[in-house]
């Protein structure tokens, strides 16, 4: 197993405080200011480690921009509205959404652009992508302006740190990372699971030996913060990510390097670390924050409902033969079940009083949410 500059720090942390939770390991590997993944890598695109939907096709961001415009109209076309993106990457989605926003009279003039991004390096990339746009950056949701907001997040929640619980011999234990002195490398270990984490496992789930349950505490906190903001100020939120609509057992923690899966403990700080989003838990938290919740629907269903096929045909009509193939293949990748269409999901939240949102059916039933096993 390969060491990295971060390995020395992780070894010292383990020797001082004991095994690291998966969440602490993710925080260090992704966000360490000197040796963390986001401080040292260009993760996006063909030359990076992964590619996201906005980079695959401009249609993705355009449709989301039009979704925002429709919701703005639906909520009374306020004269000032914050268009907020969490985890904006290079800024590609925001650029495409703003271009589409100009189609709807009055909408672009009402928009204030806010990006929630803690990384100075990624902020610089976003500035390059949005050179002529007035942007306000934020480290967290706590400093967002107190007026109606449309809040977006594409592949944001999957990168937030998780805790992993494993069912062993009839009890829950927590999966952690230790240091193996014999091999001189990081290794997996387990410790007794904290009671406060065990209480977060839905009672409807019946574990068997070896079952894993993942808990994203930061995701639950951020979802509730966003919901409280929207419930208080008005507006809506839209989040797309890969994951499961129903809380379930499963080990989804993964590392990605150069578009290939990698060993989770190998060369920490040099690979992207993610886990599938538990949309059930995310929407539970948003409901606790006072919002009406919608979804889940698959990304394919959502983009099809917004008219992706019609938009593709419009672009194709103005394109060269080579461009036509690229446009169509990009759209297929976004919506086909064997590609991103089914694994990726969409959910939305809105301030009380909003009873419908484009691309979604009726609001999520409170009685289903309380069971902890909603499967929409």
Tell me the C-alpha distance between 229 and 105, whole Å: 26
DSSP 271-335: SEEE--EEHHHHHHHHHHTT-EEEEEEEHHHHHHHTTHHHHHHHHHTTS-HHHHHHHHHHHHHHH
Residue 337's pLDDT is: 96
pLDDT tens-place values along the chain, 376 residues long: 566 789 999 999 999 999 999 999 999 999 888 888 888 776 665 555 678 999 999 999 999 999 999 999 999 999 999 999 999 999 999 999 999 999 999 999 999 999 999 888 889 999 999 999 999 999 999 999 999 999 999 999 999 999 999 999 999 999 999 999 999 999 999 999 999 999 999 999 999 999 999 999 999 999 999 999 999 999 999 999 999 999 999 999 999 988 799 999 999 999 999 999 999 999 999 999 999 999 999 999 999 999 999 999 999 998 898 899 999 999 999 999 999 999 999 999 999 999 899 999 889 865 444 333 323 3
Helices (runs of H) and strands (runs of E) counted in the chain: 15, 16
Residue 106, sorted as left (phi over 0), alpha (psi -120 to 50) or beta, turns out to be left
Length of the chain: 376
Tell me the C-alpha distance between 58 and 348, whole Å: 21
Please say whether the beta carbons of 141 and 225 come within 8 A.
yes
* Per-residue three-class SS string for 66-104: HHHHHHHHHCCCCCCEEEEEECCCCCHHHHHHHHHHCCC
pTM to 2 decimal places: 0.93
Domain boundaries, the chain: 40-159+225-245+271-371
Residue 5's pLDDT is: 81
Helix axes 308-316, 58-74, angle to 10 degrees: 130
Residue 367's pLDDT is: 40
Tell me the C-alpha distance between 151 and 173, whole Å: 36
Residue 43's pLDDT is: 67
Three-state SS at 258: coil
Q: What is the CA radius of gyration of the chain?
A: 21
Look up the CATH architecture of domain 40-159+225-245+271-371.
Answer: 3-Layer(aba) Sandwich (3.40)
Residue 32's pLDDT is: 87
Tell me the C-alpha distance between 44 and 80, whole Å: 32
Residue 120's pLDDT is: 87
Please say whether the beta carbons of 330 and 56 come within 8 A.
yes
Q: How far is residue 158 from each of residues 7, 254, 339, 362, measured CA to CA in Å?
A: 23, 10, 18, 26
Tell the burial category of 353 from Cβ atoms under 10 Å away from its Cβ (0-12, 13-18, 19+): exposed
DSSP 109-145: HHEEEEEE---HHHHHHHHHHSTTS-EEEESSGGGS-
Say if residue 145 is preceded by a cis peptide, omega within 30 of 0: no
Sign of the Cα torsion 7, 9, 15, 18 reads negative
Exposure string for 128-155, b = 16+ CB within 10 A, e = fewer: eebeeeebebbeebeebbeebbbbbbbb
């Amino acid at each position: 197993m390969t060491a990295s500059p971060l390995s020395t720090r992780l070894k010292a942390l383990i020797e001082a405080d004991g095994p690291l939770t998966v969440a602490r390991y993710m925080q260090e590997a992704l966000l360490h200011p000197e040796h963390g993944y986001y401080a040292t890598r260009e993760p996006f695109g063909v030359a990076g480690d992964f590619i996201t939907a906005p980079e695959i096709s401009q249609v993705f961001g355009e449709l989301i921009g039009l979704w925002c415009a429709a919701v703005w109209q639906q909520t009374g076309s306020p004269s000032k509205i914050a268009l907020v993106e969490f985890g904006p990457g290079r800024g590609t989605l925001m650029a495409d959404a703003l271009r589409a926003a100009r189609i709807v009279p009055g909408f672009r003039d009402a928009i204030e652009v806010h990006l929630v991004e803690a990384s100075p390096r990624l902020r610089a990339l976003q500035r390059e992508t949005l050179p002529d746009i007035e942007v306000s950056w934020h480290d967290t949701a706590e400093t967002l302006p107190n007026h109606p907001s449309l809040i977006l997040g594409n592949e944001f929640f999957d990168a937030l740190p998780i805790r992993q619980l494993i069912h062993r011999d009839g009890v829950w234990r927590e999966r952690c990372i230790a240091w193996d002195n014999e091999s001189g490398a990081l290794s997996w270990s387990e410790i007794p699971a904290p009671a406060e984490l065990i209480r977060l496992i839905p009672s409807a789930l019946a574990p068997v030996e070896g079952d894993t349950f993942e808990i994203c505490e930061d995701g639950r906190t951020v979802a509730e913060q966003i919901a409280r903001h929207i419930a208080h100020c008005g507006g809506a939120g839209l989040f797309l990510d890969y994951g499961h609509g129903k809380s379930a057992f499963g080990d989804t923690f993964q590392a990605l390097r150069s578009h290939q899966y990698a060993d989770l403990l190998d060369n920490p700080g040099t690979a992207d670390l993610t886990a599938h989003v538990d949309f059930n838990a995310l929407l539970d938290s948003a409901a606790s924050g006072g919002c009406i919740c919608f979804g889940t629907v698959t990304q394919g269903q959502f983009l099809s409902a917004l008219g992706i096929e019609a938009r593709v045909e419009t672009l194709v009509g103005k394109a060269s033969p080579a461009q036509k193939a690229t446009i169509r293949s990009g759209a297929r990748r976004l919506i086909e079940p064997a590609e991103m269409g089914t694994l990726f999901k969409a959910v939305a939240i809105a301030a009380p009083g909003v009873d419908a949102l484009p691309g979604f059916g009726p609001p999520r039933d409170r009685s289903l949410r309380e069971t902890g096993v909603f499967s929409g």
